[in-house]
A and B are shown apart, each in its own frame.
Chain A
Amino acid sequence: MCRVIYNPKYSMYNLGELHPFSPRRVEMLIELLKEWNVYKEPIEPNAINPVELEAIHDSKYIDAIEQVSSGAVLNGIDIFGLGNSDNPISLGMAEGARYQVGGTVLGAKLLIENKAKKVLQLGGGFHHAHHNLASGFCLYNDLSMAITEMVNHGWHVAYLDIDVHHGDGVQEMFYSNGNVMTISIHESGEYLFPGKGWLHELGQGSGRSLKLNIPLEPFSEGDSYFEVLEKVVKPALSWFKPDALVVQAGADAHFADPLADNLLTTHDYEKIFRQIIDYADKSCNGKVLFTLGGGYSSTATPRIWALLYLILNNLEMPEYLPENWKNHWEQILGKTIPNTLHDKLPAYEIIPRRDEILKINKDVIRRLMDSVSQYWI
Chain B
Amino acid sequence: MLIREVMHLNPISISPETSLSDTYNLMNDNNIRHLPIIKNDLLVGIVSDRDVRLATSKFAKTSYEPGTMISEIMSHPVETTRPSEPIEVAIQTMRQFKIGCLPVLDDYKLVGIVTVANLLDAMLLMTGVHYPSGRLDVRLKDRAGEIAKLTKLIADRNINIHSILSYPDANGKLRVVFRVSTMEIRPLAKAICNADFEVLWPIQASCVE
CB distance from A126 to the nearest CB of B (A): 13
Docked complex: A255-296 residues within 8 A CB-CB of B = 255-256, 258-259, 261, 263
Contact A20 B184 (CB under 8 A): yes
Of the stretches B1-9, B74-82, B126-134, the one at the interface is B126-134
Min CB distance, A124 to chain B, in Å? 17
Q: Which residues of the other chain, A, contact B128 by a CB distance below 8 angstroms? A: 195
Chain A contacts with B in 206-221, Cβ cutoff 8 A = 219
Taking CB atoms and an 8 Å cut-off, the chain B residues in 180-209 that contact chain A are 181-187, 201-202, 205-209
Candidate in A86, A130, A349 with the most chain B CB atoms within 10 angstroms: A86
Determine which residue in B132, B134, B184, B205 has the highest number of CB atoms from chain A within 10 A of its CB, and name it. Answer: B132
Stretch at the interface among B22-30, B53-61, B157-165: B157-165
B135 and A194 contacting across the interface, CB-CB below 8 Å: no
Nearest-neighbor residue (CB-CB) of A263 within chain B: B207
Partner of A259, one of B129, B183, B201, B209: B183
Instruction: Give the residues from 83 to 138 in chain A that come closer than 8 angstroms, CB to CB, to chain B.
Output: 84-86, 88, 128, 130, 133, 135-137
Which residue of B is nearest A165, CB measured? B183
Residues in chain B near residue A300, CB distance under 8 A: 209
On chain A, the residues within 8 Å of B185 by CB distance are 192-193, 259
The answer to whether B182 touches A193, judged by C-beta atoms less than 8 angstroms apart, is yes
Q: For the side of the interface on A, what is the size category?
A: 35 or more
Note all chain B residues with C-beta closer than 8 A to A78: 160
If the complex has contacts A78-B160, A84-B158, A348-B207, are A194 and B132 also in contact, measured as CB distance less than 8 A? yes
Contact A258 B187 (CB under 8 A): yes
Q: State A192–B159 Cα separation when bound (angstroms).
A: 16
Whole-angstrom CA separation of A198 from B129 in the bound complex: 11
Question: Any chain B CB within 8 A of the CB of A299?
Answer: yes
In the complex, what's the smallest C-beta–C-beta distance from A317 to chain B, in angstroms? 21
Q: Is the CB of A85 within 8 A of B209?
A: no
Whether B179 is near chain A, meaning CB under 8 Å from some CB there, is yes
With known contacts A136-B183, A259-B183, A261-B202, A84–B160 Cβ distance under 8 A? yes
CA distance A67 to B131 in the complex (A): 25
List chain B residues, Cβ under 8 A from A256.
Answer: 207, 209
Residues of A within 8 A of B184 (CB): 20, 85-86, 259
Q: Are A349 and B201 closer than 8 Å at their CB atoms? A: no
Give which listed residue, B134, B158, B160, contacts A192 with CB less than 8 A. B134
Residues of A within 8 A of B202 (CB): 191, 261
Binary interface encoding of chain A residues 167-195 relative to chain B, with 1 for a CB under 8 A from any of its CBs, else 0: 01000000000000000000001111111
Assembled-state Cα–Cα distance A135/B159 (Å): 12
Chain A 121-165 interface mask (CB, 8 Å, partner B; 1/0): 000000010100101110000000000000000000000000001
Instruction: Note all chain B residues with C-beta closer than 8 A to A133.
Output: 132
Tell me the bound Cα distance from A219 to B203 in angstroms: 11
- Taken together as a complex, chains A and B put the C-alpha atoms of A192 and B185 apart, in Å, by 8
Asked if A81 is an interface residue, CB under 8 A from chain B, the answer is yes
The answer to the question of A24 belonging to the interface, with a C-beta cut-off of 8 Å to chain B, is no
Collect the chain A residues with CB atoms within 8 Å of residue B208's CB: 347-349
Give chain B nearest CB distance to A200 CB in angstroms.
12
Identify the interface centre among A130, A165, A195, A347: most chain B CB within 10 Å of its CB. Answer: A195
Question: Are B132 and A136 neighbours in the complex by a CB distance under 8 Å?
Answer: yes
A196 lies within 8 A of chain B by Cβ: yes
Establish whether residues B207 and A85, one from each chain, have CB atoms under 8 Å apart when the complex forms: no
Q: Are A195 and B157 in contact (CB under 8 A)?
A: no
When C-beta atoms are compared, the residue in chain B nearest to A346 turns out to be: B208
Check B158 against A193 for contact (C-beta < 8 Å). Answer: no
Given the known A-B contacts A133-B132, A193-B132, are A86 and B207 also in contact in the complex, defined by CB atoms under 8 Å?
Answer: no
Decide: A86 near B129, CB < 8 A? Known: A261-B202, A263-B207: no
Question: In angstroms, how far is the closest chain A Cβ from the Cβ of B132?
Answer: 4
In the complex with contacts A81-B181, A196-B132, A259-B159 CB distance below 8 A = no
Chain A nearest Cβ from B143, distance in angstroms: 28
User: Given A168-B132, A195-B179, A348-B206, list of 8 further CB < 8 A pairs?
Assistant: A84-B181, A85-B159, A192-B185, A193-B182, A193-B183, A255-B209, A258-B186, A349-B207
Contacts from A to B (Cβ < 8 Å): 20, 78, 81, 84-86, 88, 128, 130, 133, 135-137, 165, 168, 189-196, 219, 255-256, 258-259, 261, 263, 297, 299-300, 347-349
30 A-B pairs in the complex with CB atoms less than 8 angstroms apart: A20-B183, A84-B159, A84-B160, A84-B182, A85-B159, A85-B182, A88-B158, A135-B181, A136-B132, A136-B183, A191-B135, A191-B201, A191-B202, A193-B182, A194-B132, A195-B128, A195-B131, A195-B133, A195-B134, A196-B132, A258-B187, A259-B183, A259-B185, A261-B202, A261-B205, A263-B207, A348-B206, A348-B208, A349-B207, A349-B208
